[in-house]
Structure 1
Amino acid sequence: MTSTLDSLSTRALQSLQVELRHAGERRLVLIEGDRNAALNWLAAELPFLSADRGLWVSTKADSPLPALHVATPAQARIWLGRELDLLVWDGFSGNPPDGLAALAGTLAAGGLWFWLMPPLTQWGTFSDPDYARTGLDQAIEHPFAERLAKILSDAPDVIRLKMSEYVSAGERSVTSADERASATINSELSRVRDELSRRRPATVFCVDGGPEQDQLVQALVRFGLGRRRRPLVITADRGRGKSAALGLAAAELLLRGRQRVLLTAPSAEQVATVMAHARERLGAQLQSQSATQLTIVSGASLTFLLPQQMLADKPAAEVVMVDEAAAIAAPLLQRILLGWPRVAFATTVHGYEGAGRGFAVRFRKQLDQHTPHWQERTLSQPVRWAASDPLEPLVFRLFMLAATSQGDTQQLAPDPLPVLEVERWQPAQATENDLAEAFGLLVNAHYRTTPADLRQWLDDPAAVSWRARMNGRTVGLLWAQGEGEFSAPLAQQVSLGLRRLRGHLLAQSLALHAGLPQAAQQRSLRITRIAVAAPQRRRGIGQCLIAAAQAYATAEGFDYIGSSFGGTPALLAFWQRQGLQPVRLGFSQEASSGEYPLQAVRGLSAAGERLVQDLQQRLGRHWLVLAGRQWVQCQPELMAGVMRSLPAGPQPDAEDTRDLQHFAIGHRGFELTLPALQILSRCAGAADWLTALQPAQCALWCRSVVQGRSWAELQRENLCSGQRDAEQQLRLMVADWLEPG
């Protein structure tokens, strides 16, 4: 390998890295072909590049340079918030789209991303090791990978090295192959260097936040020293310097007298940049430091805590800063918002860690409700690289990080409405513009839609989609996939928890949690996503899309159609209007939405209808037992909505009725009457009666009778002033129920 140590390619790579750093740009070096040849070439070239902040994504044993940090493809996300000069991604170990999109954004100016892959012409049939994780290893074709290959083949700023040309059957030695590689790489890099020279900026690029970042730091300091309950929300594309601004502002607040600033994020690694900038700003005032805490000579400190730890410990602090907020569960964000006097939230607008646009839309409702004087700031100018950098727009195009839907902004005249067209649609065959518009609609409609979802949508052979269009614009989408059809023995194993197949989310969940193997034996169609552009909602577009899916499922012989979604009263009502009934409520709140997952289905065949009846009967029998143990945080309106759809339980008998009468007139206590009250909650007509009550009355009943919450908790929710008040309200409600007529 010594033939390459002083090769022209080595000098060209060194020179390229220097020139890229001066220009503030980065490059993708796509190494196509033989993996061993690529590793040999990298082992010879990488020692001469700046690799102190370098990462090898694959197995440690195969690292071409021992000095590189190591991560598996599945661990890529933990590097968010850090900066790299060198990224070497072994595509032969797997290519999860979210990880690729995330790590590409960690490269700083002058950074090089080496990507080892088969030749572009083979990407569509390449058996990516990551496919097995999502069931895509069963797919014959991979349109997502083919699309990536086409984009890369047309991208002029991608440096392509074809190892298959260097190691051929006719080569006499590895050395001659290396020499050919050196000549080719030199030619390719010279082309890039010449292009850089032609448009070399007048000044050398330097990492400087500029006036926009300075203004944000000032705003953060004013916020941190200002009035309580005026949270600050910061949104920006990645590389815009929001983490640096948080660090500079945190340090400034300590220097100006704040005693404790708390910092939180999904992981400590993700705030390395924040801590580094705070450390630099504090300078000589810094008394002690660690990766998670900085303390100055006055005793004031900046401390990092994981969200769960911070909420459990409840340490006092004047200011809390939340970085990468879109990647933190919504319920945790709300508790942080309400738990400290001054909270700043920062998140990226696009992407792989939770679709910051969805975060902004959903979290805005919480902010409006609890802290109406909240403020918002954005950063638009990149600071980690120059505006001329070609890698960021390439990554955004590859993974559709900036996909938008014009249907979300296009208002339609109310009368007459344009004709709605609903059609079966193949996203894998769509033009790039149509696909971007459609995917943008999914991103805006769903809290977490990432590049991994795009790959699943395009590649899954069980996927089927419909598109709604008005005036030539996509205004609605429905993405579904076939599930089930397990053999009887396999379905039985799934129901017992002995087997779990990839995919088949709804079919397997119902078989396991309800204990009904026929849910996995039957053929089902699960609606994975449904999205309607915001200006066109409440026009029946979603209903038309679901009707099209149901007609297809019936014609194709599916037994039932269903969906799994974060349960809210509005969503439950929507699905019920489409004929789907709730059959399962999950035990754990979803990390993305903070809501309990709710599954609703509709039988299409006789067997499917019997299954739905069995599922609802089983949920109804278990409802009161589980409500007080598993769903204590569930919204009362949702609890009442689900109960309204379940088969009624037994009516109160004579003894129960006597207890209720005595409770109503104040002669019997709540605890002694609770069994009768619970029976009343599930009897025929009770759910309709509950939902007809005032919202506060319905909430009080569900919280106390159904969910078993304490009087203190009800008082904190402003549902009563104490036990006596709560019992009096409940007595009046029971009296209303017992009133004849």
Structure 2
Amino acid sequence: MLKQFLRELEDDLDNAVEGKHRRLVVISGDDPSKVGEAVKEVLLLYDRIRYRRDMEKGTVLYMFHDEFEDAKKIKDIVKAGVKENRKNIELSINVYEASKKLLGSTYQGLVLDLTHDLRPNDVGRLVEVVEGGAPVILIVPKWEEWDTRITLFKKLLTVPQYPEPRHVFITWFKRKLLAHPSHIYHADKEEIIKQEKFESPKWVPKRPEIPEKTRFPKKLYELALTQDQVNVIQGIEWLLGRKKSHRVLTVTADRGRGKSGAVGIGLIGFVETFKKSKGGFAKVIVTSADPIGVQTLFSLAMKAANVLGIKAKRVEKKGYVYELHGEGWSIEYWPPADAAVKSADLVVVDEAAGIPVPLLHKIWKNHKRSLFATTIHGYEGAGRGFNVRFLPALKNDKKTELKMIHMTEPIRYAPGDPVERWLYDSLLLDAEPAKLDSEDLKAIKEKRLKYLKLDPEWLFSEEGEGVLRQLFGIYVLAHYRNEPDDLAMIADAPHHTPRAVVTDTGKVVGAIHLAEEGPIPEDMIDELLAGGKIAGNIIPDRFLKHLRVRDFAYTKGWRVVRIATHPDVQGKGIGTFGLERVSEEASERGYDWVASGFGVTAQLLRFWLRSGFIPVHMSPDRNPSSGEFTILLAKPLNEKLRSLIMEANRLFRRRLVMALHLNYRDLEWDVAKLILETDPLPVQPDLKVPRFHPVDLDRLWIYAYGPMTFEAASDLLYRLSLAYWSQPKAWRPEVDEEMKIVLITKVLQSKKWEEVEEETGIPFKKQTAILKSFARKALKHYWGIEDGGKGVSKTALDAFLAFRGRKLLDF
């Protein structure tokens, strides 16, 4: 039967080479000898085809888990057989832990041993390094038993309370293998499960046309493999000119279009041309969510420099390139948050979809030239979210000159590749939200909404797939970090639950991903209090570690992992409706709380506060990739938890107000203000009047009504600001919104006058007037002191002598 399988496969692989398309081959079984033999024969068949066609020697990437004996045995059989008989291919054997490092590489074939693990991110990443005309071979367990195998990834999805995963995703994955052209062989039974050929038209390569007039050397353009890449290099030329305050180039593409490579080539042209035309040093900053993401860019930049005969030196850390530099120029990697504030002649954001939109705005606004490149459909992030949320701001800004390039032609294979279609379908890389018509919009306006409780088995079935695609499509658009692993998590994580908000017309307009957390097993509580770790259970873990409240370990609730609204109808109350239903269902289940954690922005925080969620913790530093502080909020569902969460909020606000000049000096003022105003319990309930020494009162009076500067009285204003944000509302002086903002930014965060003006729009003179006014209000409100033409006491010395020996308590 294997011979028959190979005969049919040979015809299809021959056609694949003609059409520069890939072919999908699956070898199933638990007998490593039979599986290894079958994989070896497929590779030798492919080798003969390449040899017969007089093709260059090719490299087949072989990925496996080296901790399993059967996987090692299969690998050894394949390796020995290919080494002994091959004429035109060689194996490159690697382990999955190194898969990220292979991004940007190109191979002439692929073997993925999925016997012990099926991690969607690995599949999405590795299948796309294979060029056209090659097989993608998947080694899987017994076909009939594969669904329920406990894989490494499934183990990662379990928590102590739910030690057994669901078995949904592999069933879905198998169904998609059967739904697309593929060759599936059961080695143990020596049976053909499926064999379907794909008719690929003969591929005729198109030579890209190089523009007649270029500022960059023609040799750079000759490195381009497609016309799309030529267009990107030409677009980087365009960045050299500048008429408006900002010149921005955007490059969008599906996976495998050569986006990063084209940018890398163009950057060498940019730095060389820029330093010559401007007569100075040319500095480019490149950034992405991870330095791994820019390795292809650096690789092609190095190649371009070599082609031009430019001496370029690499700076590496832990095996990754962080910088290229030469005489008069440098191209440097920095994390996104750093790239936003560092000066450069050009900032390049690769995989911009993996970075929050507020940070993209900051990078754009802080630089005269910027390039944002992103994948539309892929495992790096939601490219369509970039299009929906960021591009409109660029287009509508009168001070920004924008050029947009979209790449469509694949680099490694011809258009219409069947393996690409299978990959996108299996991992929902091209999932889209439902298209809304006038009736749908009317239903939303009239609040004709339903809350759907979704069962993962149904959702991943043929019947539920339409809802799944709409649901996941909303995630793809709304979230800057959306990966294939998330799809499998929804399917198989036993404590995770999907929910949806739909119109009565049947369209999904809201997507919610929930995780049940708590109670913590008794034998793990002390370990967590001492700094130990636990899978999942993020909310109970943070309460134990930061609030030291043992009782919270015995509670149970839902963490909102993600909530997203259809991009066409945001701001219509759909998210609020969804959270209300989630809270109701959680109460019905007997849960104690609903909570969530996310990178905080004022807009997001307002949404959660409106729905009754209370902030209880925030990370002490910004996430280096997102550039945001991570905040946790919780909503109590019973009286016991209400008192506990209110106390958590009180302690959190106390920490925040005391640390605004330290850890949170660069926290956005509107976020700080929103948090500080969530004060059902005052930080210091017994603080009616701040305790000031008469000497300090005299100083405060001189500042308020005399010539003393803020700098000379800053300690007094600081103590008064602490008191204002810490005491019960009824005991505070009345202040307006601008005064609150200045108290936070200038006094508590200790920012420079110009920094406050830049961030808040309040001019320097007005800031000084506001602070003087606050001092007068405080004197009158707390001590009944108004301007009487005299100081608070006869002399500071009299005041000191009168209070000498008393305990002086500041706030």
| 1:460 Cα offset (Å) | 2.2
Q: CA deviation at 1:270?
A: 4.5
- Preserved CA contact (<8 Å) 1:603 1:609: yes
Q: Which amino acid aligns with 1:326?
A: A
Task: Provide closer, same or farther for how the CA distance between residues 492 and 408 of structure 1 changes in structure 2, counting only shifts above 3 A.
Answer: farther
Query: 2:337, 2:590 → 1: CA distance?
Result: 50
Match of 2:598 among 565, 572, 575: 565
Can you list the C-alpha shifts for 1:80-128, whole angstroms capped at 9, x where unaligned?
Answer: 2332322222213422212211222222222332222113332320111
CA displacement, residues 605-650 of structure 1 (integer Å, 9 cap, x when unaligned): 2322232123123223323233333222211111111111132232
Relative to 1, partners in 2 of residues 1:665 and 1:364: Cα closer, same or farther, differing over 3 Å?
farther
CA distance in 2, matches of 1:614, 1:513: 12
Kindly indicate whether residue 34 of structure 2 is the aligned counterpart of residue 32 of structure 1: no
Shift, 1:205, TM fit = 7.8
Matches within 5 A, 1:167-182: none
CA distance in 2, matches of 1:533, 1:690: 41
1:622 matched to 2:655? yes
Q: 1:479 aligns with which of 492, 499, 513?
A: 513
Q: 1: distance between equivalents of 2:613 and 2:521?
A: 26
Amino acid at match of 2:630: P
- What is the aligned residue count? 705
**Are residue 95 (structure 1) and residue 96 (structure 2) matched?**
no
Query: Letter of the aligned partner of 1:92 in structure 2?
Result: T
Q: Measured at CA, do residues 282 and 618 of structure 1 come closer, stay the same or move farther in structure 2, by a change above 3 Å? A: closer
Cα deviation, 1:653-691, whole Å, max 9, x if unaligned, reads: 352793655543354611344223322232223999899
What is the identity, as a one-letter code, of the residue corresponding to 2:247?
A: R
- Paired with 1:693 and 1:718, the residues of 2 have a C-alpha distance of 11
**Structure 1's 54 and 536: CA in aligned 2 closer, same or farther, altered over 3 A?**
same
1:175 corresponding residue in structure 2: none
Q: Alpha-carbon deviation of 1:448?
A: 1.3
Give me the whole-angstrom Cα distance separating, in 2, the residues matched to 1:373 and 1:286.
33
- 1:222-268 per-position Cα deviation (integer Å, ceiling 9, x unaligned): 22344562121211111223223223433444564645463635566
Find out whether 1:165 has 2:206 as its counterpart.
Answer: no
CA contact (8 A) 1:319 1:340 kept: yes
Distance in 1 between the 2:360 and 2:444 partners? 42
Residue aligning to 1:417: 446
Partner of 1:178: none
Match of 1:396 in 2: 424
Distance change >3 Å, CA 670–CA 423, structure 1 → 2: same
Aligned-partner residue type, residue 481 of structure 1: A
3-state DSSP of counterpart to 2:597: strand
Equivalent of 2:458 in 429, 452, 466: 429
1:731 correspondence with 2:731: no
Change beyond 3 A, Cα 1:8–1:603: closer
Kept in 2: contact 1:494–1:517 (CA 8 A): no
How far is the alpha carbon of 1:739 from its aligned partner? 6.1
Query: Once structures 1 and 2 are overlaid, which stretch shifts more, 650-659 or 230-239?
Result: 650-659
**Helix, strand or coil at the partner of 1:612:** helix
Structure 1: how far apart are the matches of 2:667 and 2:388?
A: 22
Instruction: Report what 1:464 is aligned to.
Output: 497
Which of the two has higher C-alpha Rg? 2
**Structure 1 residue 640 corresponds to structure 2 residue 673:** yes
CA distance in 1, matches of 2:174, 2:520: 35
Please tell me whether the aligned partners of residues 244 and 277 of structure 1 are also in contact (alpha carbons under 8 angstroms): yes
Deviations 1:121-156 (A, max 9, x none): 32320111122223278335321111111111222x
TM-score (norm 2): 0.77
- SS state at 1:447 partner: coil
- Partner Cα separation in structure 2 for residue 364 and residue 422 of structure 1: 32
Question: Using the alignment, how far apart are the partners of 2:254 and 2:543 within structure 1?
Answer: 40
Using the alignment, how far apart are the partners of 1:211 and 1:239 within structure 2? 14
Structure 1: distance between partners of 2:231 and 2:663: 46
SS in 2 for 1:565: strand
Asked if structure 2 preserves the Cα contact closer than 8 Å seen for 1:23 and 1:200, the reply is yes
The 3-state SS of whatever aligns with 2:515 is strand
CA change 1:221–1:56 in 2 (3 A) is same
In 1, Cα distance between the equivalents of 2:286 and 2:731?
42
Question: Equivalent residue for 2:142?
Answer: 119
Within the candidate set 383, 400, 405, 2:433 is matched to 405
The alpha-carbon distance between structure 1 residues 338 and 685, as it changes in their structure 2 partners (threshold 3 A), is: same
| Aligned 8 A contact 1:30 1:115 in 2 | yes
| Greater shift in the superposed pair: 19-28 or 394-403 | 19-28
User: Aligned letter for 2:432?
Assistant: T
Q: Partners in 2 of 1:70 and 1:725 — Cα distance?
A: 67
Cα offset for 1:336? 5.0
Partner SS for 1:645: coil
In the TM superposition, residue 440 of structure 1 has moved relative to its aligned partner by: 0.7
1:143 maps to what in 2?
168
User: Which residue is equivalent to 1:703?
Assistant: 745
Rounded Cα–Cα distance in structure 2 between residues aligned with 1:494 and 1:317: 44
Distance (whole Å) between structure 1 residues aligned to residue 297 and residue 556 of structure 2: 51
SS at match of 1:231: strand
2: CA distance between counterparts of 1:572 and 1:416?
24
Q: Which residue of 2 aligns with 1:233?
A: 250
Is the aligned partner of 1:342 residue 2:365? Answer: no
Deviation at 1:512, TM superposition (A): 1.4
Give the superposition deviation at 1:305. 3.2
Distance 1:14 1:526, change over 3 A: same
CA shift, 1:428, in A, is 3.2
Which residue of 2 is the match for residue 664 of structure 1?
704
CA pair 332-560 structure 1, distance change in 2 beyond 3 A: closer
Structure 2 Cα separation of the partners of residues 432 and 645 of structure 1: 42
Question: Would you say the 8 A contact 2:721–2:743 is kept in 1?
Answer: no
Q: Select the residue among 402, 413, 419 that pairs with 1:385.
A: 413
Pair 1:683-2:727 in alignment: yes
1:156-305 → structure 2 map (5 Å cutoff): 157-166=181-190, 192=197, 195-196=198-199, 199-201=200-202, 203=204, 209-227=225-243, 229-253=246-270, 256=273, 258=275, 260=282, 262=284, 264-266=286-288, 270-271=293-294, 273-274=296-297, 277-278=300-301, 285-289=308-312, 299=327, 303-305=331-333
Comparing 467-476 with 656-665, greater Cα deviation is found at 656-665
- Describe the shift of the 1:449–1:253 C-alpha distance in structure 2 as closer, same or farther (beyond 3 A): closer
Note if 1:693 corresponds to 2:718: no
| Aligned residue type for 1:579 | G
Unpaired segments ≥5 residues, structure 1: 167-180
Aligned to 1:326: 353
Aligned to 1:56: 63
Cα displacement (A) at 1:421: 1.9
* Distance in 1 separating the partners of 2:176 and 2:444: 42
Provide the C-alpha distance between the structure 1 equivalents of 2:4 and 2:333, rounded to a whole number of angstroms. 49
- The yes-or-no answer on 1:653 pairing with 2:690 is yes
Q: Do the aligned partners of residues 717 and 412 (structure 1) sit closer, same or farther apart at CA in structure 2, a change above 3 Å counting? A: closer
Q: Secondary structure at the match of 2:136?
A: strand
Q: CA deviation at 1:543?
A: 2.4
> What code does the residue aligned with 2:576 have?
Q
Q: Give secondary structure in 2 for the equivalent of 1:669.
A: helix
Partner of 1:525: 558
- Counterpart Cα distance in 1 of 2:607 and 2:285: 39
Q: 2:383–2:477: 8 Å Cα contact kept in structure 1?
A: no
Percent of aligned pairs sharing the same letter: 22
1:559 Cα deviation after fit = 1.3
Which residue identity does 1:400 align to in structure 2? L
Residue 530 of structure 2: aligned partner: 496
Mapped to 2, the partners of 1:687 and 1:417 lie a distance apart of 44
- Does the aligned pair in 1 maintain the 2:27–2:39 contact within 8 Å? no
Cα 1:108/1:699, change in 2 over 3 Å: farther
Indicate the larger mover: 61-70 or 400-409: 61-70
Please give the alpha-carbon distance, in whole angstroms, between the structure 2 residues aligned to 1:687 and 1:247. 61
Deviates more, 1:555-564 or 1:130-139: 130-139
CA contact 1:79–1:269 (8 Å) conserved in 2: no
